[in-house]
Structure 1
């Protein structure tokens, strides 16, 4: 369950172990923090405290979208790792101005009734990130709250982080990003109406705006789409601005689902990027594009074993 107001937390969601962080992507490093939180006090309900929007979106609204997971997908990933309660605190002027001591007292102690906390070694919080792990340890201990500090989870390439995953996606390596996430990166959104040109050349597509998601490398991907009814359908997708159709002002994801017929407009779909097949490029004609899409679809089927 998602809770948005730290002043009105239901009794059932209070008094647990609380993992702290932005949890963008809910990657393997985040999973390590959650495991440590549960292991410290396994008899307590496990909760995760995060912020919505991401603080970076509040402080730097002009930045391009960078999110790996929006709140519904983030909450689903956290639940899959055993989290019973997701506290998604609205991050605005009030929280931005709240000092570290006040955050511990008002939010963690009084609001959530936390009995144990867990965070990464570089966790910082409060006004101008004035509270670090050392401060948190002392402030928690003074209130009888335990704390588990989890070192960075590393692989052969270095620390696993949301920043590193974003870079892999922007460079066209979704499979390598998936290894750090523990699952394929997916763009989730409501299927919207496009110009319906795809169906005229035999490849109808489900169009999903990127919204606040990070824009991965533009190009063609082998994908698997999870539909609102739970079906998982393989397909091929273009992520980009459709230069052959004259170019769009913003990128979109257009997924052609294999051997599928049905009306998906207005329904939510989650499209997982499994393999990057080629860069986006402009074709001389729609007939040339049609030929290439058939080649891409065959490559995607082979990549997916579909």
Structure 2
């Protein structure tokens, strides 16, 4: 029987049965189709060698360390990234804390202390533009030479382009989500964009209108366009419900400005408070509007429900990963 997937954070030592593995290295924010090209190569190589398949990634995102004044819409926080890597078939993810101190270590220290000492790797798999160590002095050529010196293999994967010959990148996906285009973003991700959070109590206005919602706080840096979406909601026990969600910031409710995701689940009644749930975005229906009274609001909510039901009735998985995440 296969060992369970493991998340190894901070300086926690790697279990002995995971040493000697094939390790994909990178930040992998979004775990998009470009990242998946690297990750598939690592999985294939691990299978070929009969070794564990691991991912070495970093948190927080390096841009948040070097440019803390500039908000960054992180597509996949650590827990969501781990979920995706598990579904892809990896044995473990090693989450290293990224700090200025970590970034200042030399390229050779990264090789000796992390890859060789902490992980004992048999092969490293990275994108063609991966750099590491102080001042990014370690690059593909350095890594290849280090592999020869220290006795581990190195595989470099070229940039992955979409059907329009454009490189798939996290920044492109952020731009699409900020513009309210989750369908186009899903084409680059290879799965529907999904967020995860705990269901919290709300004002219960939706309940009084006949549209009770599951409320989830999002990171203040979430860049998703505000508005109404057709979504699929996954409970902690794995059950799925179609729904319609409103995403926006409500300063009168939440004085720290954190955005709120309010999801009305179709054909469901029950208590979700305290559950950590996931919401996958399938389509943008409309922007937020100000209505002339509750009757007009309820009428529009009924139209939103009908439109979302119609959209979700015809959806199919984009990939095997999408089938595991949103279906």
The Cα shift of 1:39 comes to 2.7
Partner of 1:199: 207
Partner of 2:15: 10
Contact 2:245 2:261 in 1 (8 A): yes
Contact 1:3 1:88 in 2 (8 A): yes
The Cα shift of 1:58 comes to 2.2
The Cα shift of 1:247 comes to 9.0
Contact 2:24 2:54 in 1 (8 A): yes
Counterpart CA distance in 1 for 2:66 and 2:292 is: 43
Counterpart CA distance in 2 for 1:107 and 1:86 is: 14
Counterpart CA distance in 2 for 1:190 and 1:217 is: 21
Contact 1:207 1:252 in 2 (8 A): yes
**Residue 99 of structure 2 corresponds to residue 89 of structure 1:** no
Equivalent residue of 2:200, what SS? coil
Alignment CA distance shift 1:46-1:212 (3 Å) = farther
TM-score under structure 2 normalisation? Answer: 0.88
**Runs of 4+ residues over 6 Å off in structure 1:** 245-248
For structure 1, which runs of at least 5 residues remain unmatched after alignment? none
Counterpart CA distance in 2 for 1:259 and 1:289 is: 20
The Cα shift of 1:145 comes to 1.1
The Cα shift of 1:188 comes to 0.5
* The one of 273, 280, 304 aligned to 1:272: 280
RMSD: 1.9
Partner of 1:20: 25
The Cα shift of 1:305 comes to 1.4
Partner of 2:185: 177
Alignment CA distance shift 1:109-1:171 (3 Å) = same
Equivalent residue of 1:155, what SS? coil
Partner of 1:186: 194
* Number of equivalent positions: 305
The Cα shift of 1:280 comes to 1.6
The Cα shift of 1:271 comes to 0.5
For structure 2, which runs of at least 5 residues remain unmatched after alignment? 1-5, 315-327
Query: For structure 1, which segment, 75-84 or 5-14, has the greater mean C-alpha deviation from structure 2 after superposition?
Result: 5-14
Query: For structure 1, which segment, 274-283 or 247-256, has the greater mean C-alpha deviation from structure 2 after superposition?
Result: 247-256
Partner of 1:37: 42
* The one of 67, 75, 86 aligned to 1:79: 86
TM-score under structure 1 normalisation? Answer: 0.94
Equivalent residue of 1:102, what SS? helix
